[in-house]
Amino acid sequence: MLPVSAVIPTYRRRVELGVAISKILDCRPAPVEILVHVDAGDVETEPWLRAEFPVVRVLQSADRVGPGGGRNKLVAAARSEIVASFDDDSYPLDTNYFARLSEVFSRRPDAAVIASQIVHRGEPVPDAAAAAGASVLFVGCGVAYRRRVFLECGGYVPLAMAYGMEEADLAIRLASRGRNIYFSPWLRVFHDTDLSHHESAEITAASIANLALLAYLRYPPSYWPYGSMQVIHRVLWLVRARRLRGIVAGLCGIPAHIWRHRRFRETVSSSGLAAFLRARRSPSPLEPLGVDPEPDA
């Protein structure tokens, strides 16, 4: 079995974090290590972690770097080449999750990233089919990275509110470098949220500004009109969903948001971006992994 490190960024959510760590420790086999990054401004979680979970390696930041910046630090500090990423309110549904993850990486040696099947609170738990398919979609609450490739690509842009930016940005850069992302429904992760927090004004504003930032940082100029349309479509969707609070702040905040993060600009080629967009619209079919059936654990 390939060794796997588990990493979790957190900010002021000790109850949820405690559940997530306990569930990860209950896995058999467990990961070879668990690392947690405590973001700046949270002075309570680090001493609590050291008292309640001394096995956990704790990292901290002097400045607020958000979940993406925290994952960057965690992946860089991990000892294993395979790094499984969770949120502080997500954890494996199956106790043999890390064994399955190791098996998928072994069966897909070209994989840079492997995405899990995410189940939110209140949703039915789908079957765990032992299969995998090429994809460009993943979320940080249930994904695993090949550490070397993650670091070569530069990881995430550190944003306190990364909605609409974090995973899409990394996926574009991976795809432009010819790196492969897979999705496997065999890997099931529970995300203990109903996503109602997405209705907040802060997240609404961030989702708009981040789309504009993504276009500036990664899109070649020929695709800027497309990026502008993405922002417009997002605003129209928010209006239809009656998520009006935060729209004006998001639009007005675009110039300053881009200026603050201009140093991260590294555009991809037009052909590379086009390939990414095609793959996002039409994911590849799942293919059996060729492993013996096993009961869910």
Domain boundaries, the chain: 4-196, 197-266
Number of residues that make up the chain: 297
Residue position matching structure tokens 């965690």: 74
At residue 281, the pLDDT reads: 87
For residue 180 the two structure tokens come to 């492969």
The sign one gets for the Cα dihedral 104, 108, 109, 114 is: negative
- Give how far Cα 275 sits from Cα of 178, 272, 280, Å: 10, 5, 9
At residue 31, the pLDDT reads: 98
pLDDT tens digits along 257-295 = 999 999 999 999 999 999 899 888 888 899 999 887 665
What is the reported pTM?
A: 0.93
d(CA 23, CA 37): 18
How many C-beta neighbours within 10 Å does residue 8 have? 28
Higher pLDDT, 37 or 160: 37
163 pLDDT band, cuts 50/70/90, is: confident
At residue 292, the pLDDT reads: 73
- CATH classification of 4-196 is 2.30.30.20, yes or no? no
